[in-house]
Structure 1
Amino acid sequence: MKLEESVANDTASMFTSGFLADVYNEKPIGSLGVDRIVTRFPPEPNGFRHLGHSKAIAINFGFAEHHGGDCYLRYDDTNPAKEEEKYFMAIADIIQWLGFKPAKITHSSDYFDALYELAEDLINRDGAYVCHCSTMRDGKYGSQEALLRMKQDLESDNPQMWDLTAYRVIAPCKSDTKDQPASDLEGVTHSLCTTEFETARTSYNWLCDKLGVYRPMQREYGRLNLSDTVLSKRKIMDLISNGYVRDWDDPRLYTLIALRRRGVPPGAILSFVNGLGVSKAPSTIAVQKFEQSVRQYLEVTVPRLMVILDPVPVIIENLPEEYLEMSHLVPFTRTVYIDRSDFRETPSKDFFRLTLGTSVGLLKVPFPITATSFEKDSSSGLVTSIHARYDKPKDGTKFKKPKTYIHWISDCPSLNSPIKVTVRTYNPLFTCNNPDTHPDGFLSVINPHSEEIFPDAMIDIGLHEIIRRAPWPKTKSEVTSTEDSEVLPEFIRFQGMRVAYFCLDRDSSADSVVLNRLVSLEEDAKK
């Protein structure tokens, strides 16, 4: 099965069984008196979406798509004081990035005149009472000086029936009208929203019935929350203003634009949401579970390269100075680089990599090497070079297979190897699991090592071919996204063998490569 087919099947399963299948089967398309399912995703354009919002996007767009219908992107632009054009654009962009296309893009403000007429009709039907409705519309009242309330049931046990506000004056106002509706009337077949709107369903149905308009089927599902991080706009703004992160797209955050920059594929996010399932129960998921889902997705979808974060040269003294052997387009030369963590000065029983007098295999190289000596910097105490022997049998006899293999990169200037890169690795932003509820405040538990930078890292020359053949993964949505435009850095993803998954960062240039560590490998690379 092709990758895009397996991903499509994976992300469609939440519509074929369980809660969302039951929602559809409760009133299938034939029983609704319409010929097409219509849903909506109604974000407020007052901030950047985070990972929790991906569930709402996947449910509303996916539900309509699965049943051959349409989903509208409807901006709930009813609070002009908090709205900015950049948020409108970011929301549309992130929906497209996730692989969805709105059938129509609308705004609540598009319907203000129609809603106002319905408000007057509600008064005429004895369904609302008003303080100077006409003068409110004409702008003769200041903020909160005039309200239109629905005439509901003050004796009801449901607070959503206690004469809710239908219109209020907000000043100053930047929208097309001078008064903002407090709730919407939406021409959709299925209104799928989170459970905090469950009690509002009663008042919404009451309003539709009172006005004699079509009543969409509203059903509620549990919100997706994350532990180990913060998602609120106010707290992220505090992180930015205090210099703990650079901006809303800092890869240590869990906004969708941050995850995109970090390199998380949209298909991995949809697969994660689908794997959680959908029910009325809210879910708080550990960040580690999300990362495990991303790791599983990448394992079968991206190519592999050798990356060294902290290089130290190994001189293989029994090879000629100009020795060059090619295997899988990777040159093997007399001098290679290995990661400093793969060498110890003295052997130990629990360390199976390179030490004096012991052998280790080099990935893709036919025979192992044995360390014979090393040099150290007298001031820092760091090993500066290692000398080794290539253990190729001279008489063709069998060699003893080493216990482990390590990755390496050749020193081959004629082939421009190695490629020098800067690597940014990301660790948890906080030192506790629930920074939101920490008694000393979330800023008191910032991890000072949440970002580590390796300015002298290296990568093998296979990077050029991976860039040429991008995007990775080759899912339908990512290939489509790059058909008529430049392949953006976040589309260039790969596994650094024994290290982590990486992607190019947008700070890269023609002569400077910057990598983000997307997620670590599942296996322990230290053994």
Structure 2
Amino acid sequence: MPPKLSPEVEELAAHFRACGLSDQRATETARSKGAPAARALVDLARLRDNPLDDKQNALVLQIAKDGQGLNDDARLYLVDAIRAGRILKSDQVAAAIKFLAATPPPVDDKAFDETCGVGFTITPDELDRRVRAYVAEHDAEVRKTGWTGFSKTSGLMRQADALRWVNPLELKAAAEAVFEELFGKKEDAKAKAQAAADKAKKEAKAPKASTSASPAAGAASAGAAESPDDMFAHGWLSRLHKPGGNEQKIPERMKEHLQWTGGKVFTRFPPEPNGFLHIGHSKAIAVNFGYAKYHKGHCYLRYDDTNPEAEEQIYFDKILENVRWLGYEPYAVTHSSDHFERLYDLAVLLIKKGLAYTSDDSAEEISAQRGGKEHGPRHDSKDRTKPIAQSLSEFAAMRAGAYKPGEMVLRMKQDMQSSNPTMWDIIAYRVLGKPHHRTGTEWCIYPTYDFTHCLCDSFENISHSLCTTEFIAARTAYEWLCDALEVYKPRQSEYGRLTLEGAITSKRKLLKLVKEGHVDGWDDPRLYTLVALKRRGVPPAAVISFVSNLGVSTQGSLVQLSRFEQTVRSHLEMTTPRLNLVLRPIRVTLTNLPSDFSLTVDKPLHPKDPSMGNISVPFSRELYIDADDFRTEASADFFRLAPGATVGLLHVPRPVTYVSHEVDPSTGAVTHIECRYEADATAAVPAGFKPRGWIHWVSARAGDAVPVREARLFQRLFKSDNPGALSDAQYLADLNPASKEVVRGAVVEKAVWHVVRESLARAKEVVELRQAEAAKNGTEAPPSVDGVEVVRFQANRVAYFCLDADSKLDEGNEGGEIVLNLIASLKEDKGKKA
């Protein structure tokens, strides 16, 4: 577990929390070197009297760190700008500090806003113009590197004054469009670069090959920065030590380690099986499994199962399923409990070395030894000088069940005067008296995380023990214990954790939501557990892409939900077929067509990916359109169907014109619309007519429309950005009552059965490929971890959807009940009219 805070740090953290900082940010800030500057600024701004939210406080902390050269008036001006919502992002703070440092008072608000991007907006056309102007200005450099230099070019674009405040995702999309015009599709360029790299690699192996790198190899290397592996090739992870680079107290241990590993990277993902994994764990999975894979090493899945009171089999099962869902296969699945006997023997050895002792001190007494609530001076336990023989005898009695929980513990003899709380004689073993899911009643004492974790890393010859920054202080105790027992000592390295805006990751708070019925289970699509993301239809590749694009550093971050959603949307854009789904149908009759009229409309499943193929859909006299696409009164800003209007039907040769409509007299709801199909020579609409609006539709002829039992639409579960920072009462009050809408009566075109069949077949092929790979490598064959959520499609003009697990498909996948989950809305088109 993370170490306890010193009295001074805890007092400072409490002060920061009172100013609106989240628990995590308050603790990290109190521990940091910049704590005095942060304290001075929050006091100057009187944030305790008028707190900001955690996201705003992150910007205030940036001022405290980078704006120390500003006077108090300038810093207060900037804090007020944050409070007023004028300054919203980190790069705006950086620009503001630079502006205020160079500008004498009083501050010119207009100049400040312009320089710092306050209220910045840009139209798609203007964005396109500015991107093209930048590319033209840097034509030589852009053409020299092409797609392989896209990351560098787009990064430099963001620094240009004309593009500095553009949304990064919108800028990237605009730049990609220009690059595609210049250099063709990105995928084709990558394939060409890879082929050149493979050729260069083959030539390098030839006896007379040149040792200098070829231009082709350099181009391929540059292109690699565009892949998910970029986070391992650059940044914090690229600077980690090489295998064998972690110094040892006893050099012989390293020789043994390298002999066992063969110099390969070995990592581990070590979750506690006491809850469901969430979006934050996806980063740990991607970092540990991905780092090992990138370096052609191995990663264990190790369950930290040392607390039988909180562990359940479903957690073990779902953790492995989540890892496999994200595309990784463990080198081996292990448990801390595999080593219970060996851990016990090492605890005995620690006692014999005079570095551990048994103690019957109560929890209150141990707290007092650590300074207590008053944060007073620390002192040793009365048991610290106990004879080794007595501790050995009492530890054996602990194992034999002679003590009840709380009556006796084993503590490590470390350094009570250290400034690091993890060195204050922390507990190594405690009595729980509970049966274990794997060892039954064999043990009644269990090792703590602090004793177990580093030793299991040692047993498994982990070369890189990667964890999040809340364990920085624990590294001292980690290394102390390995050295004390003279075992191989892995190196622990810490990176910043991932926190997603609007997501709850506390297992305790999640459990409360589930048990009290605020959500529909751990896999409720409104949650950000991995089982929930899976059920919602979020592609696992999109999750990995999201983590990879964030990069890895030592800084924790609260990531905007919109950034995650855009990553998902970008992935779905090029991987999902298009279908017509009418959520709230209104029947339309084309009165000038005969009752048996039938026209087959051919259309692509994806307009940009011919490989998905085409489908034929029926177009008949009777149609369904969405209620949102009709208004009973025409208006200048509404370009869909209304009295007097003519609209296009997607993929249909000719438009339709309004004739009349009927309403339910009791409710006023429109029940039927009559239109004219403008196809004959006497049509009022000329042949070259282009309608101002286009709508989607589904044939209403018997058998043409597939009913949808339910379409489930989701919004954010919480109203605030950081519900995890709220108290138990506050976070429940923060629930969004409109977070789930169930729509009944929707219809989808019958081509959905084609999509169902093809999607399930592709998923089966992926499983078979992974099983074949496992057979080739002699490893466990992973089972299928996918369900019907692999059936994903874009509902034209509506959103992205997937099949929910509540769907009931008939054998052969050509019938049954369909239940849909909204995955993500369509990307907002700023140029689209109503």
Match of 1:453 among 718, 742, 765: 742
SS of structure 2 residue aligned to 1:512: strand
Map 1:36-55 → 2, pairs under 5 A: 36-55=264-283
Map 1:194-205 → 2, pairs under 5 A: 194-205=468-479
Aligned partner letter, 1:407: H
Aligned to 1:514: 819
**For each residue in 1:216-268, what CA deviation from the matched residue of structure 2 results, as whole angstroms up to 9, or x when unmatched?**
12100111112223222222222223322111111111111011111111111
In 2: Cα distance, 1:517 partner to 1:280 partner: 34
> What displacement does 1:26 show?
8.6
**133-142 or 333-342: bigger deviation:** 133-142
Identity of aligned residues (%): 46
> What displacement does 1:392 show?
2.4
Aligned to 2:14: none
Aligned partner letter, 1:411: A
Checking the alignment, whether the CA contact within 8 Å between 2:655 and 2:677 is kept in structure 1 is yes
Checking the alignment, whether the CA contact within 8 Å between 1:78 and 1:181 is kept in structure 2 is yes
In 1: Cα distance, 2:334 partner to 2:689 partner: 69
Map 1:285-364 → 2, pairs under 5 A: 285-328=559-602, 329-364=616-651
- 1:496 paired with 2:758, answer no
> What displacement does 1:302 show?
0.9
SS of structure 2 residue aligned to 1:355: coil
Checking the alignment, whether the CA contact within 8 Å between 1:37 and 1:67 is kept in structure 2 is yes
SS of structure 2 residue aligned to 1:237: helix
> What displacement does 1:394 show?
1.6
SS of structure 2 residue aligned to 1:300: helix
Aligned partner letter, 1:501: Y
**23-32 or 161-170: bigger deviation:** 23-32
> What displacement does 1:475 show?
11
- 1:467 paired with 2:756, answer yes
TM-score scaled by length of structure 2:
0.60
SS of structure 1 residue aligned to 2:342: helix
Aligned to 2:511: 237
Checking the alignment, whether the CA contact within 8 Å between 2:244 and 2:463 is kept in structure 1 is no
> What displacement does 1:388 show?
0.8
SS of structure 2 residue aligned to 1:82: coil
Match of 1:141 among 383, 392, 403: 403
Aligned to 1:11: 228
Evaluate the alpha carbon distance shift between residue 395 and residue 316 of structure 1 in structure 2; reply closer, same or farther with a 3 A threshold: closer
In 1: Cα distance, 2:600 partner to 2:750 partner: 12
Evaluate the alpha carbon distance shift between residue 419 and residue 481 of structure 1 in structure 2; reply closer, same or farther with a 3 A threshold: farther
Aligned to 2:91: none
**161-170 or 303-312: bigger deviation:** 161-170
RMSD: 2.7
Aligned partner letter, 2:406: Q
**For each residue in 1:194-229, what CA deviation from the matched residue of structure 2 results, as whole angstroms up to 9, or x when unmatched?**
111111111111111111111112100111112223
Q: Which runs of 5+ in 1 are unaligned?
A: none
**For each residue in 1:148-198, what CA deviation from the matched residue of structure 2 results, as whole angstroms up to 9, or x when unmatched?**
222212221111111221222222242442221122211311100011111
In 2: Cα distance, 1:94 partner to 1:499 partner: 29
In 2: Cα distance, 1:482 partner to 1:346 partner: 60
**86-95 or 515-524: bigger deviation:** 515-524
> What displacement does 1:116 show?
1.2
In 2: Cα distance, 1:98 partner to 1:117 partner: 37
In 1: Cα distance, 2:344 partner to 2:818 partner: 56
> What displacement does 1:398 show?
3.3
Aligned partner letter, 2:352: N
Evaluate the alpha carbon distance shift between residue 316 and residue 408 of structure 1 in structure 2; reply closer, same or farther with a 3 A threshold: same
**430-439 or 358-367: bigger deviation:** 430-439
SS of structure 2 residue aligned to 1:137: helix
SS of structure 2 residue aligned to 1:464: helix
> What displacement does 1:399 show?
2.3
Evaluate the alpha carbon distance shift between residue 26 and residue 18 of structure 1 in structure 2; reply closer, same or farther with a 3 A threshold: farther
> What displacement does 1:482 show?
10
Checking the alignment, whether the CA contact within 8 Å between 1:471 and 1:478 is kept in structure 2 is no
- 1:110 paired with 2:338, answer yes
SS of structure 1 residue aligned to 2:240: helix
Aligned to 1:154: 416
In 2: Cα distance, 1:9 partner to 1:478 partner: 27
**153-162 or 43-52: bigger deviation:** 153-162
Aligned to 1:124: 352
In 2: Cα distance, 1:7 partner to 1:384 partner: 56
SS of structure 2 residue aligned to 1:231: coil
In 1: Cα distance, 2:502 partner to 2:293 partner: 33
Checking the alignment, whether the CA contact within 8 Å between 2:231 and 2:552 is kept in structure 1 is yes
- 1:423 paired with 2:721, answer no
In 2: Cα distance, 1:300 partner to 1:479 partner: 24
Evaluate the alpha carbon distance shift between residue 101 and residue 285 of structure 1 in structure 2; reply closer, same or farther with a 3 A threshold: same
The size of the alignment, in residue pairs, is 525
Aligned partner letter, 1:138: A
Aligned to 2:552: 278
Aligned to 2:429: 167
Aligned to 1:377: 664
Q: Which has the higher contact order (CA 8 A, sep 6+)?
A: 1
SS of structure 2 residue aligned to 1:218: strand
Evaluate the alpha carbon distance shift between residue 478 and residue 398 of structure 1 in structure 2; reply closer, same or farther with a 3 A threshold: farther
Map 1:391-430 → 2, pairs under 5 A: 391-392=678-679, 394=681, 398-413=687-702, 416-421=703-708, 422-430=710-718
In 1: Cα distance, 2:339 partner to 2:577 partner: 49
In 2: Cα distance, 1:304 partner to 1:112 partner: 54
Checking the alignment, whether the CA contact within 8 Å between 1:502 and 1:516 is kept in structure 2 is yes
Larger radius of gyration: 2
> What displacement does 1:291 show?
1.4
**For each residue in 1:395-430, what CA deviation from the matched residue of structure 2 results, as whole angstroms up to 9, or x when unmatched?**
8963210112111001222xx210000211111112
In 2: Cα distance, 1:503 partner to 1:479 partner: 23
**For each residue in 1:274-312, what CA deviation from the matched residue of structure 2 results, as whole angstroms up to 9, or x when unmatched?**
111111111112322211111111111111101110000
Evaluate the alpha carbon distance shift between residue 17 and residue 268 of structure 1 in structure 2; reply closer, same or farther with a 3 A threshold: same
Checking the alignment, whether the CA contact within 8 Å between 2:321 and 2:785 is kept in structure 1 is no
SS of structure 1 residue aligned to 2:687: coil
Evaluate the alpha carbon distance shift between residue 7 and residue 45 of structure 1 in structure 2; reply closer, same or farther with a 3 A threshold: farther
Match of 1:225 among 499, 504, 507: 499
Evaluate the alpha carbon distance shift between residue 8 and residue 245 of structure 1 in structure 2; reply closer, same or farther with a 3 A threshold: farther
**398-407 or 23-32: bigger deviation:** 23-32
Evaluate the alpha carbon distance shift between residue 143 and residue 220 of structure 1 in structure 2; reply closer, same or farther with a 3 A threshold: same
Aligned to 1:72: 300
SS of structure 1 residue aligned to 2:405: coil
In 2: Cα distance, 1:290 partner to 1:223 partner: 15
Evaluate the alpha carbon distance shift between residue 189 and residue 482 of structure 1 in structure 2; reply closer, same or farther with a 3 A threshold: closer
In 1: Cα distance, 2:756 partner to 2:226 partner: 28
More strand, by proportion: 1
> What displacement does 1:490 show?
0.8
Evaluate the alpha carbon distance shift between residue 7 and residue 418 of structure 1 in structure 2; reply closer, same or farther with a 3 A threshold: farther
Aligned partner letter, 2:423: M
> What displacement does 1:129 show?
2.2
Checking the alignment, whether the CA contact within 8 Å between 1:471 and 1:487 is kept in structure 2 is no
> What displacement does 1:455 show?
1.0
More helix, by proportion: 2
Evaluate the alpha carbon distance shift between residue 502 and residue 162 of structure 1 in structure 2; reply closer, same or farther with a 3 A threshold: same
Aligned partner letter, 2:595: E
**12-21 or 438-447: bigger deviation:** 438-447
